[in-house]
Amino acid sequence: MFDPLQFKSNFPLFFQQENKALIYLDNAATTQKPQCVIDAIVDFYISKNGNANRASHRLARSATSILEDVRQKSANFLGASHKDEIIFTSGATEGLNLLAKGLSRQLDKDDEILLSVAEHHANLVPWQAVAKKTGAKLVFINNNLEDIDSKLTHKTKIVSCSAVSNVFGQFNGVDRFKRIKKKYPDIFLIIDASQMVGKTPVNVNDNFCDFLVCSPHKFYGPTGVGLLYGRRDRLRCLNVSKFGGEMIESVDLFESSYAEPPYCFEAGTSSLAAIAGLGACIGFIESQFEKGMLAYEKKLIGYLHERLSVFINDFPEISLQTKVKDNIGIAAISSNRYSMADLGFWLDEHDIAVRVGDHCAQPLLKSLGLTSVLRVSVAPYNTFEDVDALIQCLYDFFKKNNENLCTTAPFFLTGDESASDYKDELSAINYHDFLTTKSWANKYTKILSLGKLVAKKPFLHKDRYLVSGCEASLWIHVIEERSQKETAFNFVVDSDSIIVKGLAALLLCRVNGKSAEHIKGIDFDAYFSDLGLEKYLSESRFSGMQSLLKYIWLAIDK
Ligand code: PMP
């Protein structure tokens, strides 16, 4: 019988003083690491560190044997027939880039590359670059792959799909891919298994793909190492795209010949300590499979959905975007009315880690008319009590903050209004009030009330006004008022997050109506530090403020 608490006891992070209350529900981004993985990494550096494949001394031999031993373990774990079908990469992203570049020589102008609209950017952007270079066409299937058969033609050269969506956790199963493989044996079929490995046993020998990529850091392994499986005969069709030491057979000044796969794809020194950690991780996960880890995870995701379904009955403006069936551990909610960024902030305040945003799947969200999704992703160290605590915190947010967080200042849409109608919107703010506010609870309330002063401005919600680098959406527009003496700048903003609006208001009330010279004289570092916000704000939220500042500099420098 699988015991989640016993499982959790393997993960030292949860037992550090600062993490004792942490409820970690961002496992689709990365999982925590068990002691055995940490030990293997430390042990490598303490007693085994040498460079693999390069020298014959004892430490080099030991590093080489770890590398090859973990290659074999990885092959067994994924069901590959030979260890030389396993290439070590730095992660799924590098694996997909190697495939896109490596297969580009197989493509002609009239060929088609089939992807789904649900792909992670890592399985989309490299193909866009290849399509541009080769003239091949990108063809898209829908997010649950239902129309894949109708999109396959004699022009299809490559199919590259994720087995599990990183936003909705839907496992598409491998039968569909097996059928394609059987019917179109020449197509290069690539599976992005980043969210699949560790959540269900994988057997590439089952003939459902030619290539498969994954990132062990998503299944208790270290960051810095990834796996690319390629069927032996198919690896021979893959061009080498990374060059350097150890991937060669011989080198002359003008020509080189390359080593056999997989070595020709592993230029430079691999992340040896991470690979040692991966070896420990595979042993760990296989033993947990045997203990019933997957069945427990299934129950947990069922419970999470059960509780969320009841919750959204009470708050119908929230939508549950995920289903329990074939779900590998993700629940996602969205809302047109409430800010998911603010909700994520609230949960973080209560030490519950989730992820909010577009999850590197912008086309998927756009196709569903969504801008931001709050994703809860579980692992077997999560308990039913963790789910209860999350749900309670959601209720608290909506009950206690309903007033504050869900309404914005009244807006008077006339249909032809412009940013200049709002140029004085922040003029009444006195930031000195904020400087004298001591406790975080009071600061938080003040940020919310400042946020409410910023009216909703749908006319600003355009890509050209969007500030990049901010967790929530933040739009800004500058209005210049020229007089004989000088030019005064007024910045007008909007955001889907009240907190971000409040923070932006705190920044803009210092600069609005001022000249470039005046703005240049403000010491913003000192101002931020006087406001006392850095220690409360996440890196990404704070960097959103920095991006806003950058925008201001650019506007006044023009
Ligand atoms: N594909 C999917 C489906 C993913 O979820 C991720 C990570 N979120 C990636 C690719 C990229 O993985 P990595 O950042 O580890 O390279």
Q: List pLDDT tens digits, range 71-90.
A: 999 999 999 999 999 999 99
- Bigger pLDDT: 307 vs 482: 307
Position 535 confidence tier, pLDDT thresholds 50, 70, 90: low
Q: Which of 132-136, 275-279, 421-425 is predicted least confidently?
A: 421-425
Q: Let me know: does 180 contact 148? Beta carbons within 8 Å.
A: yes
From 237, 360, 393, 470, the catalytic residue:
360
For residue 191, the CA-to-ligand 1 centroid distance in Å is 12
Q: Is 195 in the pocket of ligand 1 (CB under 6 A)?
A: yes
Position 498 confidence tier, pLDDT thresholds 50, 70, 90: confident
Whether omega for the bond prior to residue 4 falls within 30 degrees of 0, making it cis, is no
Q: Whose CA is nearest to atom 12 of ligand 1?
A: 92
Q: Is the pLDDT of residue 470 over 80?
A: no
Q: Is 215 in the pocket of ligand 1 (CB under 6 A)?
A: yes
Q: Let me know: does 10 contact 34? Beta carbons within 8 Å.
A: yes
Mutate to test the pocket of ligand 1, among 98, 168, 215 (most ligand atoms within 8 A of CB): 215
Mutate to test the pocket of ligand 1, among 195, 213, 220, 328 (most ligand atoms within 8 A of CB): 195
Q: Let me know: does 333 contact 312? Beta carbons within 8 Å.
A: yes
Q: Is the pLDDT of residue 415 over 70?
A: no
The confidence score (pLDDT) of residue 240 equals: 96
Q: Is 92 in the pocket of ligand 1 (CB under 6 A)?
A: yes
> Please, which contacts does 513-519 make with residues 24 or more away whose CB atoms are closer than 8 Å?
513/427, 513/488, 513/489, 514/488, 514/489, 515/486, 515/487, 515/488, 515/489, 516/487, 516/489, 516/556, 516/557, 517/486, 519/489, 519/552, 519/556
Would you put residue 332 in left (φ > 0), alpha (ψ -120 to 50) or beta?
Answer: beta
98-150: pLDDT as tens digits: 999 999 999 999 999 999 999 999 999 999 999 999 999 999 999 888 889 89
Q: Is 359 in the pocket of ligand 1 (CB under 6 A)?
A: no
Mutate to test the pocket of ligand 1, among 30, 116, 227, 360 (most ligand atoms within 8 A of CB): 360
353-403: pLDDT as tens digits: 999 999 999 999 999 999 899 999 999 999 999 999 999 999 998 887 655
Q: Let me know: does 162 contact 120? Beta carbons within 8 Å.
A: yes
C-alpha distances (whole Å) from 401 to each of 62, 352, 356, 396, 397 are 58, 17, 18, 7, 5
Which ligand 1 atom sits nearest the alpha carbon of residue 223? 15
The confidence score (pLDDT) of residue 545 equals: 80
Q: Which of 73-82, 203-212, 521-530 is predicted least confidently?
A: 521-530
Q: Is 194 in the pocket of ligand 1 (CB under 6 A)?
A: yes
Q: Whose CA is nearest to atom 14 of ligand 1?
A: 93
Q: Let me know: does 355 contact 375? Beta carbons within 8 Å.
A: yes
Take residue 451 and report the two structure tokens written for it.
Answer: 């946020």
Position 544 confidence tier, pLDDT thresholds 50, 70, 90: confident
The confidence score (pLDDT) of residue 403 equals: 56
For residue 118, the CA-to-ligand 1 centroid distance in Å is 12
Q: Which residue has the tokens 């970690």?
A: 24
Q: Whose CA is nearest to atom 4 of ligand 1?
A: 194
Q: Is the pLDDT of residue 414 over 60?
A: no
For residue 169, the CA-to-ligand 1 centroid distance in Å is 13
Q: Let me know: does 423 contact 473? Beta carbons within 8 Å.
A: no
For residue 215, the CA-to-ligand 1 centroid distance in Å is 7
Distance CA 306, CA 141 (A): 30
The confidence score (pLDDT) of residue 407 equals: 40
Determine whether 360 is an active site residue: yes
Residues 6 or more apart whose Cβ sits within 8 Å of residue 167: 118, 321, 330, 332, 359, 361, 364, 365, 373, 375
**Parallel, antiparallel, or unpaired for β 112-116 and 156-162?**
parallel
For residue 543, the CA-to-ligand 1 centroid distance in Å is 23
DSSP state of 259: P
Take residue 314 and report the two structure tokens written for it.
Answer: 């009470």
- Bigger pLDDT: 335 vs 421: 335
Q: Is the pLDDT of residue 438 over 50?
A: yes
Q: Is 221 in the pocket of ligand 1 (CB under 6 A)?
A: no
pTM of the model: 0.88
